[in-house]
Amino acid sequence: MHTEVPKNTKTKRPRTKKTLSLKQKEGLQGYIFISPWIIGFLCITAGPLLFSLYGSFTNYDVTSRMDFIGLSNYIKMVTNDDLFWISLGNTIYYVVISVPLTVFGAVLLAVLLNQGIPGLRIFRTIYYLPTVLSGVGVYLLWMQLLNPTTGLVNTMLSWIGIQGPAWLLDPNWTKPALIFMKFWSLGGGMLLYLASLQGVPKSLYEAAEIDGANAFKRFIHITLPMISPVIFFEFVTGIIGGFQVFQEAYVMTDNGDGGPANSLVFFNLHMWDKAFNVFDMGYAMAMSWVLFIIILILTLINLKLAPRWVHYQGGDQK
């Protein structure tokens, strides 16, 4: 539909229309160009956002009812839904371990790759590869890799004399299993850090070396500050993404049943169940707003803390 828009602008452009100044005309065209986004924003983002905010105060079930019930959904969530707390706990567990671990691993990998070793391009390709692989096929692969007896992971562990856990079958190990799987695709972050590291002037390291700073000190005082904006970016997006973990848990437990002892009931999995299995949409929308607010608060905290540790070169970030 929007592809028609530019054609209209052509007909609107005739010079006879003297009422609009050149600047206003330009402005109008600007709005025409971004109009697909404006329409999309209103119809598939802002509108739904408001609907779900209102819906969260109702007992909406798609088909018949939509009565205003005040804070009931939120009260029920906090006081009368054990799975809500379990799902929140599972999700926080996942985020708290997975995000820092992946950031740490990716930084370490990028630093190693940046030591002027031969074959950088090949290594970069190999390490980035898992990031490209996603979807059901990868989850099925990992279900097999994590098989307690015949899987590759425990086979490899047995080579170094470690008896591997039962991973997806043991409630204590299901989340580490998913964190492990996520860690496999640390190459995405690695690429960003590597790009950023390659922009660090060599002279900085040379100067520090002359001043007698050892490798560790150079890492802490030069490397880390220089790549801190990327770490910040990865950290913020990692938290936002981590709180929304869904697909892997859905596919790797039989159609989202939550795994052994509900250990893989993540927030979104519980929300999905409420919305599309039980059709308690009002409640699910209330849950989605709780998640939104958690993410919002964490992002604001991150932005607030950023000036303390994120070092921007030149100051102007645009």
Partner 1 sequence: MSKEANYFQSVKVKKRIKQTIILIVLILGAILILSPVWWMLATSFKSMTEAMQYPPTLWPHKWHFENYIETWKAAPFTRYLLNTIFITFFVVLGNVLANTFIAYGFSKIQFKGRNVLFAIVLATMMIPGFVTMIPQYVVFSKLGWLNTYFPLIVPAFFGNAFFIFLLRQFFMTIPNEMIEAAKIDGGNHFYIWSRIVVPLSKPAIATVAIFSFNGAWNDFLGPLLYVNSEKLYTLQIGLSVFKGQVSTQWNYLMAGSLLVLLPVLVLFFIFQRYFIEGMNITAGTKG
Among residues 199, 212, 314, 315, the one that binds partner 1 under rule CB under 8 A: 199
Candidate segments 70-78, 86-94, 162-170, 237-245, binder of partner 1 by CB under 8 A = 237-245
Cβ–Cβ under 8 Å, residues 2 and 35: yes
Cβ–Cβ under 8 Å, residues 173 and 166: yes
Smallest distance from partner 1 to CB 94, Å: 15
Q: Which of residues 29-88 bind partner 1 (CB under 8 A)?
A: 29-34, 36-41, 43-45, 47-49, 51-52, 55, 62
Closer CB to partner 1, 117 or 210, in the complex:
117
Candidate segments 20-28, 75-83, 93-101, 167-175, binder of partner 1 by CB under 8 A = 20-28
What CA–CA distances, in Å, run from 127 to 134, 190, 233? 14, 8, 20
Residue 185: which of 252, 117, 286, 109 has the closest Cα? 109
Among residues 16, 19, 70, 117, the one that binds partner 1 under rule CB under 8 A: 117
Give the whole-angstrom CA distance, residue 18 versus residue 123.
61
Residue 83: which of 270, 259, 258, 243 has the closest Cα? 270
Q: Which of residues 242-271 bind partner 1 (CB under 8 A)?
A: 243-244, 246-247, 250-251, 254, 268, 271
Question: What pairs with residue 103 in β-bridges?
Answer: none
> 269-308 mask for partner 1 (x: CB under 8 A)?
--xx--xx----x--xx--xx-xx--xx--x---------
Residue 188 makes contact with partner 1 by CB under 8 A: yes
Helix, strand, coil proportions of the chain in percent (round to 5)?
A: 70, 0, 30
Q: Which of residues 150-179 bind partner 1 (CB under 8 A)?
A: 150-152, 155-156
